[in-house]
A and B are shown apart, each in its own frame.
Chain A
Amino acid sequence: MAGEIELKGIRKTFGKVEAVKDLDLLVQEAEFLVLLGPSGCGKTTTLRCIAGLERVDRGKVFIGGRDVTELPPAKRGIAMVFQSYAVFPHMTVEKNIGFGLRMRHLPKEEIKKAVREVAELLQIDELLDRYPSQLSGGQRQRVAVARALVMRPEVLLMDEPLSNLDALLRLQMRAELKRLHREIGTTTVYVTHDQIEALSLGDRIAVMREGEIVQLDTPNEVYDKPANVFVGGFIGTPPMNFLKAKVLADDKDVFLAIGDFRLEVPDVWKAHLREMTDKTVILGIRAENIEVHPETNGGRLPANVIVAEPLGSQQLLTVQVGDDVLKVATKPDLSVQPGQAIGLALVKDKIRIFDVQTGAAITFP
């Protein structure tokens, strides 16, 4: 209960821009929730509303069951790590980390001890006497995290804390943040537009678009069962493939038609799909759920290779199917040439279908 966050219908506009539109969200205690979405979708604004750095136009914010909507940041029991780190340049690392505790007027000895502990946890105890200008980007980032953690907040808010680091360091810090969360278990809301980060860190991911949450699920669900075309297209490298398909049914069977090709569907769908006979849907499938066969015959979706890109651990094919272009992941040693005709087999259980008009996933109980 202590670290639970609840947003009830919060709304925030800047002039004519609706940055957050009537957003509801419940973050469980000790959960690591990632806010993920493209640039400008309102992630930072949502986080700042939780922090109290932004006043909501309407709606309510609860932290640990307490209505904090009207409270200033200092009274909310939160700590925040900024994208820019925002470490104070005129204070040593030690002073930076101890800043919040000094604001609480704790005894000096106690502050020193707490600072040392958290510094050790983040492996910056050697740097306590330095000024931020003498630190590397990664070290500064650790100071920012330490400064937030030392407060033992009910809720830890992080706004793209890794985005200013180089790729390798980012990988390292990602693992470290994960370890920290496991050790400390503070409720965390983490903003990023990097889907890999979201998938690897989050207990759950809230995918945002234009000020709204379009899907709130575990990483696997978000990846395998996107709630709509937007989520499927936003998450995953490469993003999910989309094809136009038509629902066809005869006396015996129901299937999806892609051009002349008839695609088998999972058995549980059949009864429901039958009701949609002759409707066009969008079929979604991920690159790794398509198998490639060098020969085109025998119940396979015919395709033409446009480009083959070797990417080390796998090979990425761009292929043409009718009017649609698909990405297909294959073994790195499969030898194909541009222009070559191949046959594709779609893994039946991994197929998703979406409404043509709304783009929402069509699911069957």
Chain B
Amino acid sequence: MSYRYLLRQTLIYMAVLTLALWVLIPILLIGISAFTPRQELYLWPKSIIPSHFSLETMRFFLGAHGVVRSLLNSVKVAVLTLTFTLAVGAPAGYAVARFFFRGREAFRLGILITRMFPTALLAVPLAVTFIRWGLYDTLVGVALIHTAMALPFAVIITTGIFMGVPKDLEEAAMTLGCSRFGAFARVALPLALPGLAAAAMFTFVISWNEVFAAAILTVRNRTLPAHIITTIQASPLDFRFAGGFFMILPALLFMFLIRRYLFHMWGGATAER
């Protein structure tokens, strides 16, 4: 317990605290505002703690035209995106991790290039193509675009995950009576699950937060961010707070759910043992 040790600990904790506050304070303020009675939001100076807990703002927000619908749309799009991304990304990551094939390295680098094109640049051609394909203004269309955005990261993350699962384990399973696929399903997949869960979380959040493509490619089937962004200019303050809160909420819930899962898998590196 030397002086230097204490100093270091203090500095580390201060840094952690700063970072935590940096992230948490806005969330907290938005959360509080979302449950503050409407009139109080417009007071100046405004007290941080509202005089009483109120669902008025929330009710107003949820009652507003198109909100519930776009909220559901957002959830649908995010789930679709998640499904598409993992269905394509996880096998791709597995292939890159396990097999040598011509152009593997080029693929690993090239996959990020798809992220180099700004969505703004692609928006008009995409909209035209989507209209032609009948995907314009559909949730599947938005999910496809979100998948394209999330996929490079998903592939890179899952590649890392599967590289971390020793090949020996699958081979051992094969000598013990599994087929190639059986070995993947019984050994590689369960071991990769925590990592895949993280990739899933990441994908979900990418889709949930994406505004631009969603706003351009839809008219009636807006996702929540697209709906909010197109209506926010004309909205009162309380609507904005409630909207912000709703944008944060699912991501938070989702993270808490997955986080438990991340840390509680057969206790590998953590507490229990």
Binding site for B on A (CB under 8 A): 51-53, 72-74, 78-80, 82, 84, 86-90, 99-100, 103-104, 131, 133-134, 147, 151
Contacts and interface: CB of A to CB of B under 8 A. Distances in A.
Given A51-B175, A74-B177, A74-B178, 12 more contacts: A53-B171, A72-B180, A73-B175, A74-B179, A82-B172, A86-B169, A87-B172, A88-B169, A100-B177, A103-B176, A103-B178, A131-B267
Contacts of B178: 74, 103
Interface string B2-30: 00000000000000000000000000000
Interface in B163-190: 166, 168-169, 171-180, 182, 187, 190
A78 B175 contact: yes
B268 interface: yes
Given A74-B177, A104-B177, A82 B171 contact: yes
B273 interface: yes
Contacts of A79: 175-176
Which residue, B175, B180, B273, has most C-beta atoms of chain A within 10 A?
B175
A61 to B, nearest CB: 14
B191 interface: yes
B187 A88 contact: yes
Contacts of A90: 190-191, 265-266
A363 B173 CA distance: 47
Interface of B: 166, 168-169, 171-180, 182, 187, 190-191, 265-268, 273
B183 to A, nearest CB: 9
Contact of B176 (A84, A89, A99): A99
14 contacts: A52-B175, A72-B174, A73-B175, A74-B175, A74-B177, A84-B166, A86-B171, A87-B172, A88-B172, A88-B187, A89-B268, A103-B182, A133-B267, A147-B176
What 9 pairs across the A-B complex have the smallest Cβ distances? A103-B177, A100-B176, A86-B172, A86-B168, A80-B175, A73-B175, A73-B174, A74-B177, A84-B168
A365 B272 CA distance: 69
A88 to B, nearest CB: 6
A82 B168 contact: yes
Nearest to A134: B273
Q: Which secondary structure characterizes the binding site on chain B?
A: helix
Contacts of A134: 273
Contacts of A131: 266-267, 273
A99 B187 CA distance: 11
Nearest to B169: A86
A132 B239 CA distance: 54
B179 A80 contact: no
Contacts of B173: 88, 99
A53 B175 contact: yes
Contacts of A74: 174-179
Contacts of B175: 51-53, 73-74, 78-80
Contact of B191 (A51, A87, A89): A89
Contacts of A88: 169, 172-173, 187, 191
Contacts of B168: 82, 84, 86
Given A53-B171, A134-B273, A72 B179 contact: yes
A53 B168 CA distance: 10
A133 B172 contact: no
Contacts of B172: 80, 82, 86-88, 147
A120 B168 CA distance: 26
Contacts of B265: 90
B186 to A, nearest CB: 8
Nearest to A100: B176
B50 to A, nearest CB: 48
Contacts of A78: 175
B180 to A, nearest CB: 8
A118 to B, nearest CB: 14
A133 B268 contact: yes
A100 B179 CA distance: 12
A82 B180 CA distance: 18
